[in-house]
Structure 1
Amino acid sequence: MPAEPLDVLVVGGGIGGLALAQALLPSGVNVQVYERAREAADWVQGYRIHMNQIGSRALHRCLPRPLWEAFLATSGHPGPGFGFHTHRLRELVFVEESVMTGGAADPSGGQYAVSRTTLRRLLLAGLEGVVHHGKTFQRYETRPDGRVTAFFADGTSATGDVLVGADGADSRVRGQYLPGARRVDTGALAIGARLPLDDRVRGWLPRNLADGLNLILPPSGSAMFTAAFNGRRRAESLLAQGSGLGFVRGAGPATGEGDGAGLETDLAGFGLDLRALADDLQDYVLWAFVAPRGIYPAGTADLDGGGLRDLAGTMTSGWHPALRRLVAEADPASVRLMPFKTSVPVGRWPTTTVTLLGDAIHNMTPAMGFGANTALRDAALLASRLVAFQRGRGTLAEAVGGYEARMREYGFGAVRTSARFTNFMISRSPLVRHGAKTWFRLCDALPPVRRMSFGHLWTDGATGEG
């Protein structure tokens, strides 16, 4: 057992870095997080996150119980499953939620639609004095005794036993540590936007688009992903039951005899208010139209939100009227142009007291929503290995090396799967699309084939790591 508490420096205060800090703190590890953004809210960008079983189990392992319960209370339900449809909204196959979760009954084995803003607030809770904003990482040096010193642009530095690069896809830590690691453009480009989900929109939007995950497949060359976020409606419904938050601490649904008041008291100790968290939520449907970069007209990158939305409308001409309206009524301020890039898998490297997690090492395309979930898995796994060392099990090199060996396996596995799915989405081959649709229809008709084809995507390896 180390004579002194383990000192861990985390560069990057995103999902993975903060989850790692939350997981390490209760075990007496001295962890400090250094984030370049000057304000906590600067990090919050993009759309909601689909938390699959892999991510939810990892988050459950990282968060203190009150924060986990608040996560459950403020997350939306992603719907009854994942639907694959033609551009005319004819269903090809529907993958039930039970397939996506392996039939797990415990909340930690579920799937959730998560607000980035709310998740950020939960991950920051209780980390006062741990997270340091306005710290732009420049470089690190390894000292003769094996400890690592990180240097920041403001002239300050910090020294610890382990340096964790959790600083995203353009990681400076990775640039110094693994200079040969690369990210490449996949050739896919997406236009994404949000449509506020109110009663008026629910009145005309097909139910599967208003309450579920969907992939829309025209004959070739493009695809559209849609997902609903209903966290505000769900949270307001729970809060309206007063103390009926017993589902959060128990295994069953709310009964009206739970201990929601106790949860609110516990959250107050973290500087949070459950009702304020619910007030921050906004319900919406997001969509992302994905196509090969080459079919977009010149000047696409110069278009504003309204221009990009109109371009997506033109490129979906002939699609189902509900899909066309979904695009046409999207909020122009929410429209983003998103190039799809991916990391190139890296072979084994020598273990040191520097390591990486999340996008800093295995950045992947947004296809299938694996990125945030894999970063959480990294955080839970690395925390378990470092805590084991803190408690006297093995050496620090064994802790870091064991984490990296397992992380490379599942992390780059997710990178490959995401890249393959992206290539399928933008394939211009009618034969490829026709063959896939034929397989989807077979999966729809045969439940065992459906479970075999899709179940492992969201559940594989979600348990047993530590």
Structure 2
Amino acid sequence: MRVLVIGAGIGGLAVAKGLIDGGHDVAVFEHADALRDGGAAVTVWSNGTAALGQLGVTLEDVGRQLHSLKSITDSGRLLWEADLADVTERLGSPTIETPRRLLTGKIAAALPEHVLHFGRRCIAVTETADRVVVDFDDGASAEGDLVIGADGQRSVVRRELLGGGPARHTGWASWQGLTRSDVPVAHGHQTVNIAGRDAHCGLIPAGGGLLHWWFDLPWRQGDEALSLRDLRRMFTGWPDPVGPLLAEVGPDDLGFFPHIRHVVPRVWGGPRSTLLGDAVHAMPPAVAQAANQTLEDAWLLSHRLADVAGEPGPALRAYEQERRSRVLKVSRTAAFTSAQRSTPLQRVGRLPKWIATRSQVASLRSGSTVLRPVPA
């Protein structure tokens, strides 16, 4: 089949790799003039690295493998710690933190050069019984047998296929960045999450001395984003290494990202169309699963279309039905976890390490398709 993929982010590149390996003729159209290099870093959990492995992409030479996940309060008290080395052993695939630009670059490098088309902004999608046509803002168009919307939370393909409004703001936002740092956590293999009554901080080494950091706070649409000076003032007195890190961070490192959540529809497209990733199930970053669920989408969609040469509709609906049940679980967990960040922690007891570790394994399995057998 001739497959048109709209969007050259993680999902669009990954599904293109899987479909090309399955013998399909694929073209990826991206509105930017080159691969995007923003977005700080990505935690690729065991389900994400497993999906990438199934697609023939390895992250062994990028980022930093994580061995531990620790959560403490803003007073420094340990809440729980999960052994990610044990999680890797149980699930058969590691957890890796990597700069987003390295992840997209790694997948893109596995594609033939002629597949990627930059500077092509999709403005309309027309679907008929035997073809799809995508129109671009420069007056050009492309025709194919199938279109896949991988164009993010403001997806034009979703709007054209399904209508409806954009993803909703959740009432929280992240101030985040990727900084080369001298603090010890930047050179280790441990994620540190720090939970306060009305704020949350995360620190993850991303390889090469880079530290992915973020501060989550309540935020209302229309409010101004906080400055670096505001963050330094608000997080004074938090446990190390928050203070030393914020002293190192420069204004150019600071990115602002409101949290959003999509209503996940029952059907994601028409007889020759579907969606994947943030185009269909954008979610808060509380459980760091958005990119991983996108990679699972790409893997399963490629798997479902591997032997399809004619009408793709039944394979598309099978993909959507299988992924929707998993994505809904993860999206609800992310929304619940985000909401609980305002819960007082003084009465929360310390969780034994073995329980935290097995809970991590169970959570990843329950929200995953690639870590479970795929039904025929």
Q: Are 1:417 and 2:333 counterparts? A: yes
Match of 1:285 in 2: 211
- 1:450 maps to 356
Measured in 2, the distance between the counterparts of 1:194 and 1:159 equals 39
CA distance in 1, matches of 2:187, 2:331: 27
The answer as to 2:7 corresponding to 1:15 is no
Mapped pair 1:397 → 2:313 = yes
Which residue does the alignment assign to 1:265?
none
Gaps in structure 2 of 5+ consecutive residues: none
Matched, 1:127 2:117: no
The alignment covers a number of residue pairs equal to 371
SS of structure 1 residue aligned to 2:192: strand
Secondary structure of the residue that 1:154 maps to in structure 2? coil
Structure with the bigger percentage of strand: 2
Tell whether the 8 Å contact from 2:261 to 2:284 is kept in structure 1 after alignment.
yes
CA deviation map 1:321-363 (0-9, x unaligned): 5322222221321111221111123234675211000000001
- What corresponds to 1:382 in structure 2? 301
* Residues 191 and 309 in structure 1, CA contact (< 8 A), matched pair in contact too: no
Query: Counterpart in 2 of 1:61?
Result: 54
Report the alpha carbon displacement of residue 127 of structure 1 after superposing the two structures with TM: 2.4
Q: What per-residue deviation string (whole Å, max 9, x for no partner) do you get for residues 62-108 of structure 1?
A: 23xxxx35x31223212x21101111333221101145335245xxx
- Is residue 28 from structure 1 mapped to residue 5 from structure 2 by the alignment? no
Is residue 2:24 matched to residue 1:39? no
Match of 2:151 in 1: 167
1:362 aligned to 268, 281, 289, which one?
281
Secondary structure of 1:168's partner?
coil
**Could you say what secondary structure the match of 2:113 adopts?**
coil
Judge conservation of contact 2:268–2:275 (CA < 8 Å) in 1: no
Q: 1:459 to 1:328 in 2, by over 3 A?
A: farther
1:56 Cα shift? Answer: 0.7
The answer to whether 1:336 aligns with 2:245 is no
> What residue in structure 2 maps to residue 212 of structure 1?
190
Identity %: 27
Q: Is residue 50 of structure 1 aligned with residue 77 of structure 2?
A: no
Q: Decide whether aligned partners of structure 1 residues 92 and 134 sit closer, same or farther in structure 2, where only a CA change above 3 A counts.
A: same
Larger Rg computed on CA atoms: 1
The 3-state SS of whatever aligns with 1:215 is strand
Contact 1:84 1:215 in 2 (8 A): yes
1:452 Cα deviation from its structure 2 partner: 4.6
Contact 2:12 2:28 in 1 (8 A): yes
Q: Name 2:206's counterpart in structure 1.
A: 229
Q: Matched residue of 1:140: which SS?
A: strand
Residues 350 and 331 of structure 1, relative CA distance in 2, 3 Å threshold: closer
Deviation at 1:410, TM superposition (A): 1.3
The whole-number CA distance in structure 1 between the counterparts of 2:79 and 2:133 is 54
SS at match of 1:72: coil
Q: Which residue of 1 aligns with 2:125?
A: 140
Query: What is the one-letter code of the residue matched to 1:52?
Result: W
Q: Is the 8 A contact 2:266 2:321 kept in 1?
A: no
Query: How far apart are the structure 2 equivalents of 1:450 and 1:119?
Result: 28
Partner Cα separation in structure 1 for residue 240 and residue 306 of structure 2: 54
- Confirm or deny: 8 A CA contact 1:222 1:290 kept in the other structure: yes
Q: Contact 1:83–1:94 (CA<8 Å) still a contact in 2?
A: yes
The amino acid across from 2:62 in the alignment is: T
Q: Deviations over 1:165-186 (max 9, x none)?
A: 0001100000111112541111
The within-5 A match list for 1:219-368 is 220-230=197-207, 232=208, 283-293=209-219, 300-301=224-225, 308-348=227-267, 351-368=270-287
SS at match of 2:351: helix
Q: Which amino acid aligns with 2:313?
A: A
CA 210–343 in structure 1, closer or farther in 2 if over 3 Å, else same: same
Is residue 464 from structure 1 mapped to residue 370 from structure 2 by the alignment?
no
Gapped regions of structure 1 (runs ≥ 5): 1-5, 233-282
Q: Distance in 1 between matches of 2:365 and 2:104?
A: 24
Residue number in structure 1 paired with 2:65 = 77
Evaluate the alpha carbon distance shift between residue 434 and residue 465 of structure 1 in structure 2; reply closer, same or farther with a 3 A threshold.
farther
Distance 1:184 1:374, change over 3 A: same
Match of 2:80 in 1: 93
State the partner residue of 1:195: 179
3-state SS of paired residue (1:341): strand
Distance 1:98 1:229 in 2: 17
Deviations 1:11-57 (A, max 9, x none): 111111111111111222111111111123xx111111111111111
- String of CA shifts for 1:273-317, please: whole Å, max 9, x gaps: xxxxxxxxxx311221111126x9x9743x6xxxx2221111112
CA contact (8 A) 1:209 1:227 kept: no
> How far apart in 1 are the matches of 2:101 and 2:14?
15
Q: Pick the structure with more helix per residue.
A: 1
